[in-house]
Amino acid sequence: MLQLRGPQHLFDRLFRSATLFFGLFILLLLGGVAVSLVVGSSAAFSKFGLPFLWTDIWNPATERFGALVPIYGTLMTSLIAMVVGIPLSFGVAVFITELCPPVLKRPLSIAIELLAGIPSIIYGIWGLFVFAPFLQAYVQPFLIATLGHIPGLGVLFAGPPFGIGILTAGLILAIMVLPFISSIMRDVFETVPPMLRESAYGLGCTTWEVIWRVVLPYTKVGVVGGIMLGLGRAMGETMAVTFVIGNAHQIRTSLLAPGTTISSALANEFTEATTPVYTSSLITLGLILFFITFIVLAAAKYMLIRMQRQAGG
């Protein structure tokens, strides 16, 4: 044993140094991305200043640019994706872990995970040629005829049924984030000790009471982490959104109207940027998306830390 302590100590030091290098490399890479975005956006900020953030004009011909429309589209499509995707993901995870027959559990789990492997451009093509025409022919006319006449709420479903638009992009994103959120929820639900479930059922709890009072409190940290992972996925999606959002630099109150996001604007216009200000404005959009994602993930991390402290208390 004494003869092995020397080599083992050396291997431990090498392993510790290697992991430290990888950790510092990630921080260095992240810092390099941030610095390059800041440098690239300097021309736009020097010309437009902070009003670039809340200006809704995007006119390459006159070189007048503003980020409000892409920011609005990014936030709205992500919000729709979360409103639709979180309940669906929760239902799928609960069904697989609590209610699904054993013979269907593994096939359903594999099918959900396969959705995450489909390229985003396939989602975009399917959304443009199949999903958007279906929405235009059946769903959007129904929304206009019913919700469109409700005071206050009707402005969100006013106008003609284009098929493509903010709502369509949000629904496509909801389908895309479903496998990520549901897989994490399913995995954390399965970590609940069977004794806790059996004890709750023994006390006379229903299935919903077991889920709400036992499973969710035990796994809330993992559930929130999965939701935030899906949110980050939705905010950064490019190709699928580009196909179905309409790519119009305008803000309308109706969710049925076309719009744009930061990612779709970059995908559509970066190759067309021929002037330094135009290119810098697009890079500034990337910097804004970088900071939005960073703020969302930082807030999620802070929330998880608080939840862990409360659970420990």
Q: Residue 6 pLDDT more than 70? A: no
Can you list the pairs that 114-120 forms with residues at least 24 positions away whose Cβ atoms lie under 8 Å? 114/179, 115/175, 115/176, 115/178, 115/179, 116/179, 116/180, 116/183, 119/239, 120/176, 120/237, 120/238, 120/239, 120/240
Q: How far apart are CA 222 and CA 308, in angstroms?
A: 10
Domains of the chain: 16-312 (1.10.3720.10)
Q: How far is CA 146 from the centre of its chain?
A: 29
CB 294 within 8 A of CB 37: no
Query: Could you report the per-residue pLDDT of 136-190, keeping only the tens digit for each?
Result: 999 999 998 888 888 888 888 888 888 899 999 999 999 999 998 998 899 889 8
d(CA 177, CA 233): 7
Q: Quote the pTM value.
A: 0.87
Percentage of residues in the chain having pLDDT higher than 90: 29
Asked if residue 253 has pLDDT above 90, the reply is no
The Cα 270–Cα 273 span in angstroms is: 5
Stretch 105-119: mean pLDDT: 85
Closest to 106 (Cα-Cα) out of 184, 186, 216, 178: 186
pLDDT of 110 higher than 80: yes
Each residue of 10-45: pLDDT tens digit? 888 888 888 999 989 998 998 898 899 999 888 888
Q: How far is CA 18 from CA 15, 27, 231, 278, in A?
A: 5, 14, 32, 42
